[in-house]
Structure formats: structure tokens, C-alpha cells
Homo-oligomer: A and B are copies of this chain.
Amino acid sequence: MKSTFWTRLPITVLGIPAIIYLLITGGIIFAGFVSLVIFLCLYEFYGFKRKRGHQPNIMIGMLMSLAICFFYIEFPHPHLTNIIAGIIILVILGLFMELFKGKPHPLENISTTFSGVVYNAVLLGTMIALRNWDSLNGARFTMTMIFTVWICDSCAYTFGMLWGKKKLIERISPKKTIVGFVGGIVGSFISFYLMNMYGFIQYELTLFNIITLTFIVGICGQLGDFVESMFKRDAGVKDSGKLLLGHGGVLDRFDSLIFTSPLVFIFVLYL
């Protein structure tokens, strides 16, 4: 389906208030939502390799991701014994299943299964812990991050369309320009600066804090977009999926957040 304003509209209209509602509610509702997003991302990630004839173990991947979500739900005081035991048993079970299935390419199948968990669950799962940081700051920081990622994308697109010429990494994303990339950084800075100035973030940020957050969203988030494009190009697909109508797949929507969530999480851990 061709992506137009009208095909994108329903998801936008439903998505934005839904995410705000989930963030404010928090708790197990928000954790369940993030887990669902991780499962969908994982499924699409595995799809990249199924295109190449490999057969990652979806069940093991999903259960390992669930164990990691529990780690983040209970962070900073997780039941380490249960979580590490669960992960170990799933890793060993996955290896034994591969042994008895006797499918071709066992090394690739098992590598994809485990790396999908690292790329999707270990990184994106941090959003659960970030939201739970504390009931007020956690929700507001997460909301600011998601909002700024969206501002960053929009500025990058607009700057690139208006003034973009020289490509950034042409072999991966032939449309993205250096000017667009800089536009994204500028947009991120302004977003964080204003959100802080008008008191939306309760925690008072210094200029250095704002520059750090700009680095995370403006640079790392945009590079995360390139990483997903690199994977899609390697797999020979255009969109990661079709679930979100004109928006492409779930992984396409969350590619920047896969990189910004864990880094903002680390940022607040050491704040």
C-alpha cells in the first residue's frame, strides 16, 4: 500500500493519545505494551533472516525477551536468581531444540534467535525501567524523549527536503542528507530546551544535560535509523512489516527509540 497522509492518519490519530494514556497509567499496563512492541519488533527482525532461508526459534526468542522485560519491570531490585535461571534454561533449550530439529544452518538460526533478543529486548526493554524511574519524572522523561524523537524526525525530513544535497551514508539510506541530519540535531536541542524551560521536565536540567540528551536523540537516534536501514538492505526488504499501514512495520516506527531509550535510561541512572 502506498504511504500517503490519509493511510497514515488513523494510526497517528489513535497512536498519539494511546501512548500518552499508557505512559500516564504506567505500571503493568505500560510494561505489557512495551513487551508487545518488543515481540512485534522481534518477529519482524526474525523476518529479515527468514527471507534468507534461516529459521530462528521464535518461541525461545519471545520467552527470553519476556524474561528480560521482567528484569526491567523489577529494576533496580529484580529477582536475579529467577531471571538468570530462566534465561539460562531458555538458551540451553534453544540449543537442544536446534540439535533435534536437524534444520540447515544451525549456527545462523541460533545466532539470529539470540541476537534478536539482544537488539530488541535488551535495548527497547529499558523503556519500562525508564518509565518506572519514579512516577512523575519517569513518565515525563519518557514522554519528552518520544516527543523529541518525533520532532527530530520531522525536522530532519523538512531540512533535508528544503536544503539537503550531500548524502550522509548513501550506500544505506540514499535519501538522507547531511543537512537533514543536522536539522534533526537542531530540532532535538530546541525540543529539550523548551520542554525544560517551560517546566514539563520536573527535574531541572543543566545545559550540559540538555546537550547530552541532544546527542542521544539527535545523533544516536538518527544513527539507529541507519542501523535498521542497514539490516533491511542486507535482507533485501523495504519495510520491516505492514502492521502500521502507511507507517510500515513496528520496527520502522521504533528504530530510533531502540537506541534512544537505553541511552536516556543510562542518563537518568547516573543523573
Closest chain-B Cβ to A94's Cβ sits at a distance in Å of 9
Residues of B within 8 A of A92 (CB): 123, 220, 259, 262-263
Q: Does A87 contact B (CB under 8 A)?
A: yes
- Binary interface profile of A, 70-102, with partner B (CB < 8 Å = 1, else 0)? 000001101011000101110110011011001
Q: Does A118 contact B (CB under 8 A)?
A: yes
Q: Does A157 contact B (CB under 8 A)?
A: no
Residues of B within 8 A of A106 (CB): 230-231, 234
A117-144, CB < 8 A from B:
117-119, 122-123, 126
Identical chains in the assembly: 2
Q: Does A48 contact B (CB under 8 A)?
A: yes
- Asked if A48 contacts B107 (CB within 8 A), the reply is yes
In whole angstroms, how far apart are the Cα atoms of A11 and B241 in the complex? 53
Residues of B within 8 A of A126 (CB): 88
Q: Does A28 contact B (CB under 8 A)?
A: no
Q: Does A166 contact B (CB under 8 A)?
A: no
Closest chain-B Cβ to A260's Cβ sits at a distance in Å of 10
- Binary interface profile of A, 104-121, with partner B (CB < 8 Å = 1, else 0)? 011110111111011100
- Asked if A91 contacts B111 (CB within 8 A), the reply is no
Nearest opposing residue in chain B for A96, CB measure: B223
Contact of A75 among B80, B119, B269 (CB under 8 A): B80
- Asked if B91 contacts A118 (CB within 8 A), the reply is yes
- Asked if A80 contacts B76 (CB within 8 A), the reply is yes
Q: Can you give 6 contacting A-B residue pairs, CB < 8 Å?
A: A88-B123, A88-B266, A95-B119, A96-B220, A110-B115, A115-B115
Which residues does A use to contact B, with CB under 8 Å? Answer: 48-49, 75-76, 78, 80-81, 85, 87-89, 91-92, 95-96, 98-99, 102, 105-108, 110-115, 117-119, 122-123, 126, 169, 171-172, 220, 223-224, 226-227, 230-231, 234-235, 259, 262-263, 265-266, 269-270
* Given A98-B230, A107-B231, 11 other A-B residues pairs in contact with their CB atoms under 8 A: A48-B107, A87-B122, A89-B266, A95-B227, A96-B220, A96-B223, A99-B227, A106-B230, A107-B234, A110-B115, A118-B118
